[in-house]
Structure 1
Amino acid sequence: MTRLNWGMIGGGDGSQIGPVHRISATMDGFFTLRAGALDADPEKGRAFAQQIGIAPDRAYGDWREMLAGERNRPDRVDLVTVATPNATHYEITRAFLEAGIHVLCEKPMTVTVAEAEDIAATSARTGAICAVNYGYTGYPLVRHMRAMVARGELGRIRLCVVEFSHGFHADAADAENPRMRWRYDPAQAGLSGQFADCGIHALNMASFVTGENARELSADFLSAIASRKLEDDAMVNIRMDGGTRVRLWTSSVAVGSFHGLNIRVFGEQGGLRWAQQWPDQLHWTPLNGRTQVIERGAADSADAARATRIATGHSEGMLVAFANIYADLAEAIHARREGRAPDPAACHYPTAVDGLRSIAAIRAAVDSAAQGGDWVDARPPSLRP
């Protein structure tokens, strides 16, 4: 498979997510980092880009300069990753899609439903892929859970319980730290804080595994640190379009929880349990049977097999999960170029429509919380009957 040219916007020196993308995107040799506008400070961005091997003429000061420099190059970037603050996602993503350049956008894809509708429509109109980085769906055993549900091994799904909790923003004395302050600032984060930051990972995972989407929801938001304008804790009940009920809790003030992304799925014929902190084991309990542990590398689905890199008993983690999203995108891009259907096991990357559904759910949760937990339609306007 020919290497594809890759560019990055944001994710510069000191970024939490930037190194994860750079390692994961290049792990399999599918992409080479060729261009970047990596920092809000143009000179810092240019210097850091050159430091990590980007040629000086492709080390850009900002995303507009990058778009102007790349769009007409014969060797232009094939894919751009957008890893900037939430409020900038829409303008950057739309501009690159209009240029026919594929985009992987960090979540949330936009901050308003109207923007998300436009991104989904722009991707469909231009034919440029817009993926959204719900990277945890790249874990092999998460993909195996999806396969087990789709094969009917759990029977009808009754209930899905998901959470994404941590305690790293629990210290009120640290509330002005720039690395966390922006997450609770409506001007940079949008309508929602913790639910938009982590809760939609949990919601997307529930949708990914069950194959169902949010129809309506009821939410309760809490700003445990009173100075925050946006919530740092949320409890959301969701009715899915296939009948499954989802119970979702997300928090950034859960002291003692380090990265609590967990999912439990309960069906008529059995239940599944997986935790991101222990990603290589999936617990499966058949109805009236004993709990079994399915090890990564021993799961009997093509989806899990394609996403597994090393032998059973050796740990894989977040870098490989993200790398699986990039591997899916590489296959999708090559398939389009070659006029063929992509490998079915590579068709699980989250799309602009998934991003749109998430933004609609955020809007609904904000409205529901403001109305004291009233049930609110969680579907995007374009996807309602």
Structure 2
Amino acid sequence: MLNGERVIQRPLRWGLVGGGRTSQVGYKHRTGALRDNTAYTLVCGAFDVDAARGRDFGINIGVDGERCYPDYRTLIGEEARRPDGVEVVTVATPNHTHFEITTACLMAGLHVICEKPLFFKMEECREIERLAGDKGLIVGVAYSYSAFPMLLQMRAMVAKGVLGDIRIVDLCYIHGFNSADDSNASEAQRWRTNPATSGPTFVLGDLSTHTYYMSQMVLPHMKVTRLLCDRQSFIKSRAPLEDNAYVLFHYDNGAVGRLWCSSVCAGSMDSQTIRIVGSQGSLIWRDAHPNELWYEVQGRPVQLMSHGMPYLDELSLGSDRMGALHAEGLGDSWSNVYLRLAQAIDAKRRGDQAALDGLIYPGLKDGAEGVRWIENCVRSADAGSVWVDFH
């Protein structure tokens, strides 16, 4: 069980680009990183495209006004001059800026934690992979749902063969908050439906990459080989970006999968479901009830497993924060992601490859896999919703 004790020698000096007053994710990043005050200390930021608003915001959350910068370039330059300068930067900005800011941070010798989707193109992923490798730096991705203890329990049970041979993977991430047009959309929402700032997708990038990564985390031994994507723009002004999509896919072990992502499921609250079906049983996890895992075996009563209980695998118990009597939520998963990334950065700095290899965290290869997922979904949909090889 996690209790906030130190797991690295000292807190990392952390900075935030974006994530200011009007951001939908900035507070989540800060609570995730700072939950364990032994892991990160927020020392600086370029919080907003409006420099005055960003500085005012930074001061109001306790950052020294002198270290509230007007833009990321100034942040990198000024922090490099300090003996106590920033060490790791989170990029919480619109999609079209991710590659540029990540590149600049890596060139300056800074580790990076970036929002998803990571970049627009696989070529950009490969370039960042080369740069991060040359510099010996970690690039993490904010797949914030992925560290719930019961998802790790799924992974452990699959690895132990409890389900038998995996046959079916059924994924869903839906909500109804974009069922109306965008005339009254917030500043943080409008860029998500603009191809210039969002990239080639809306919900496929914004929603489905989360769920796809979670499935890959649960099933690391299985790889997608081909897929078919059908996407729709029910709010016509969003075209060519989709607000609803269906994806069918095949795995290298013969299993099949499907994913539905939508932001126009009117009346639905934010909801993800992951169902893994094997030859001997099934597991179901829902983010609306993240502390529970349903285990089904044909001909037996359904078993409802709860977080924090001693019958769970140590992989799950090692990421539990509240204990069995107390509910955990999304903030706890964010904190787990940030803590694992801090451990990865620490291991990288110490040259401890064994420790790094033993950590489960969303890294650069996982972010690149999300970009590859998006590219292939778009390629399939734009070709008339046909099957394509996953490459």
Answer yes or no: same fold by TM over 0.5: yes
Task: Determine the structure 2 residue equivalent to 1:383.
Answer: none
The counterpart of 2:29, out of the listed 21, 46, 50, is 21
User: 340-349 or 15-24, which moves further after superposition?
Assistant: 340-349
Q: Cα deviations across residues 308-329 of structure 1 (Å, max 9, x unaligned)?
A: 0111021111111010011111
Q: Which amino acid aligns with 1:289?
A: R
Q: Residue 71 and residue 288 in structure 1: after superposition, are their counterparts in 2 closer, same or farther (change >3 A)?
A: farther
* 1:254-269 paired onto structure 2 within 5 Å: 254-269=265-280
State whether structure 2 residue 191 is matched by structure 1 residue 182: yes
Question: Are 1:198 and 2:207 matched, yes or no?
Answer: yes
Aligned residue identity for 2:282: G
Call closer, same or farther: CA 1:188–1:274 in 2, change over 3 Å: same
Distance in 1 separating the partners of 2:206 and 2:154? 24
CA distance in 1 between partners of 2:123 and 2:384 (Å):
25
Give the match's secondary structure for 2:301: coil
What is the letter of the counterpart of residue 281 of structure 2?
G
Q: Cα distance, 1:177 vs. partner?
A: 4.2
Match of 1:121 among 126, 130, 145: 130
Secondary structure of 2:259's match? strand
Counterpart code for 1:217? L
Displacement, 1:259?
0.9
Unmatched runs of 5 consecutive residues or more in structure 1? 380-385
TM-score by length of 1: 0.94
Equivalent in 225, 236, 250 of residue 239 of structure 1: 250
Superposition deviation, residue 150 in structure 1:
1.2
- Following superposition, the deviation at residue 289 of structure 1 comes to 2.3
Q: For the residues of structure 2 that align with 1:257 and 1:104, how far apart are their CA atoms?
A: 30
Q: Aligned AA for 2:26? A: G
Report the Cα offset of residue 166 of structure 1.
Answer: 0.4
8 Å Cα contact 1:214-1:361 kept in structure 2: no
Give the letter for the 2:23 counterpart: S
Please, which runs of 5 or more residues in structure 2 have no aligned partner? 1-8
| CA drift at 1:194 | 0.8
How many residues in Structure 1 have an aligned counterpart in Structure 2? 379
Aligned equivalents of 1:92, 1:206: Cα separation in 2: 28
* CA offsets 1:13-42 (integer angstroms, 9 cap, x no match): 121110111111011111110010000111
Partner residue in 2 for 1:163:
172
Letter in 2 for 1:377: D
Does 2:237 align with 1:218?
no
Query: Is residue 72 of structure 2 the alignment partner of residue 53 of structure 1?
Result: no
| Mapped partners of 2:223, 2:19: distance in 1 | 30
What is the CA–CA distance in structure 1 between the aligned matches of 2:388 and 2:104, rounded to whole Å?
Answer: 32
Cα distance, 1:180–1:339 mapped onto 2, change above 3 Å: closer
- On the 8 A contact 1:169/1:180 being kept in 2, the answer is no
The question of 1:37 aligning with 2:49 is answered no
Deviation at 1:337, TM superposition (A): 3.2
Q: Which residue of the partner structure matches residue 332 of structure 2?
A: 320
Is the 8 Å Cα contact of residues 96 and 103 (structure 1) preserved in structure 2? yes
2:301 aligned to 290, 293, 298, which one? 290
Cα offsets for 1:127-168 (capped at 9, x unmatched): 110011111111110111111111111111111100100000
My pick for the range that moved more, 246-255 or 287-296, is 287-296
Q: 2:107 aligns with which of 98, 104, 107?
A: 98
Q: In the alignment, does 2:315 pair up with 1:303?
A: yes
Taking the TM superposition and a 5 Å limit, the aligned residue runs for 1:132-147 are: 132-147=141-156
Shift of the alpha carbon at 1:199? 1.0
Structure 1 vs Structure 2 CA RMSD = 1.7
- CA positional deviation for 1:125: 2.2
Partners of 1:343 and 1:27 in 2: CA distance:
23
For residues 289 and 125 of structure 1, what CA distance do their matches in structure 2 show? 54
Q: Is the contact between residue 332 and residue 342 of structure 1 (CA under 8 Å) also seen in structure 2?
A: no
What per-residue deviation string (whole Å, max 9, x for no partner) do you get for residues 39-70 of structure 1?
Answer: 01112112211221111221111011111112
Identity value in percent? 38
Aligned counterpart in structure 1 of residue 287 of structure 2, from 276, 281, 288: 276
1:76 alignment counterpart: 85
**Contact kept? 2:22, 2:187, Cα under 8 Å:** no
Partner of 2:342 in structure 1? 330
> Do the aligned partners of 2:202 and 2:243 also contact (CA within 8 Å) in 1?
yes
Native 8 Å contact 1:36 1:60 kept in 2 = yes
Picking from 5, 8, 12, the partner of 2:16 is 8
Deviates more, 1:366-375 or 1:188-197: 366-375
Deviation at 1:341, TM superposition (A): 4.9
| 1:367 aligned residue (379, 384, 391) | 379
Distance 2:17 2:345 in 1: 20
- CA gap 1:257/1:126 in 2 versus in 1, 3 angstroms: same
- Aligned with 2:352 (options 340, 346, 364): 340
Corresponding position: 1:354 with 2:366: yes
Letter of the 1:322 partner, please give it.
Answer: W
Report how far residue 260 of structure 1 moved: 1.3
Give the letter for the 1:265 counterpart: I
User: What is the rounded CA distance, in whole Å, between the counterparts of 1:35 and 1:177 in structure 2?
Assistant: 26
- Residue 115 of structure 1 and its aligned partner are, at CA, apart by 1.2
CA distance in 1, matches of 2:285, 2:357: 21
Query: Deviation of residue 78 (structure 1)?
Result: 2.1
Q: Secondary structure at the match of 2:146?
A: helix
Separation of aligned partners in 2, 1:162 and 1:140? 18
